[in-house]
Amino acid sequence: RYTSKFADVFTVFLGIGGGGCVFKVENKLDKWRYAVKRIAVDPKNIDDALREVRAMAQFDHPGIIRYNCTWIERPPEGWQHDTNVEILKRMGSSSRRSVIKIFQMQFNDDCEFLYIQMQLCNYSLKEWLRENRSDSTRNLPRMKSWFKQIVEAVHYIHEKNLIHRDLKPSNILFAEIDHLKVCDLGIATERRIDEQTDTTITRTIIGSMLYLSPEQSSRYPYGSKTDVFTLGLILSELCVAITNRERSEIFDNFRHGIQCDRIQDSGTAKFIKKLTQVEPKDRPSCREMLDDLFLA
């Protein structure tokens, strides 16, 4: 009889669709709640799928989501479908809608499932931005504190010779009030840096289109400064409440060297301008950002 660690050890409370499925679960033994990410992978591509695991396993930083463990399951034909149906029955309607498309995907008979168990955070920066749509919620000292935590986490990633490449509010989570953590390191890549230019040979467009740097969207070589540009975009929406349509226009302007005139604080506007320079070489490193008086 086939046994599954995921089914045997955890009780599933919530599922979220995305680059796989992320489940909110409770361990039946220790009664602690975790997030478990499940990714369907072709056995030939297992090394690519393990990239996130290898990135997370080496990290020990208060600003990065805590990794617990990982395992691979190879269920017999039909077993996963039947299990998915049982999980869906136990979920609420809103959660069911969010994962049903993922569950309906047709997996190959030889498909394997990679499970990543990690720290559970119930709230994202994307949700906070959606629920706080007035400038009165943008207390500058508080926003700077949040942003500094994000920069410290990204600096740590860069110090590990990695680039995140997909920074965005949905990948920034609240572990508790005013304590943020960076997550979703699935496309973090090792960078081979030319010390003079800080560029890599990477040219692929990877990351969320809205938050791409100019060099990413143009398929130019890019390095750690691509994360810096995206940090500038995130800081701009921390400081100014914008609609989805405005966000798209403002971010596209940044990619073309046009600054946002809605940022009233001159120090903030000046700092964002540094981060969103079109040329990567003109942007500061995360270390230089942390040393800047703006984040002091």
Tens of pLDDT, residue by residue over 70-118, are 999 988 876 666 666 566 666 555 555 555 444 555 456 568 889 999 9
| Degrees, nearest 5: CA angle 88-89-91 | 65
- Judge whether residue 202 has pLDDT over 60: no
- When mean pLDDT is compared across 204-208, 214-218, 221-225, 233-237, the lowest value belongs to 204-208
Which residues fall in the annotated binding site?
37
CATH fold label, 123-295:
Transferase(Phosphotransferase); domain 1 (1.10.510)
- Judge whether residue 38 has pLDDT over 70: yes
> How many CA atoms, within 13 angstroms, populate the side-chain half-sphere of residue 25?
26
The matching CATH number, chosen from 3.30.540.10, 3.40.366.10, 3.40.50.300, 3.30.200.20, for 5-118 is 3.30.200.20
Phi-psi region of 239 (alpha: psi -120 to 50; beta: other; left: phi over 0): alpha
Distance CA(88)–CA(14), nearest Å, equals 9
Assigned token pair, 165? 């490449």
Name the segment(s) of the chain with CATH classification 3.30.200.20. Answer: 5-118
Name the segment(s) of the chain with CATH classification 1.10.510.10. Answer: 123-295
Contact (Cβ atoms closer than 8 angstroms) between residue 211 and residue 164 = no
pTM of the model: 0.84
| Helix H or strand E segment including 270 | helix 266-275
Percent of the chain with pLDDT over 90: 56
- Judge whether residue 123 has pLDDT over 60: yes
Which residues fall in the annotated binding site for ATP?
37
- Type of residue found at 1: R
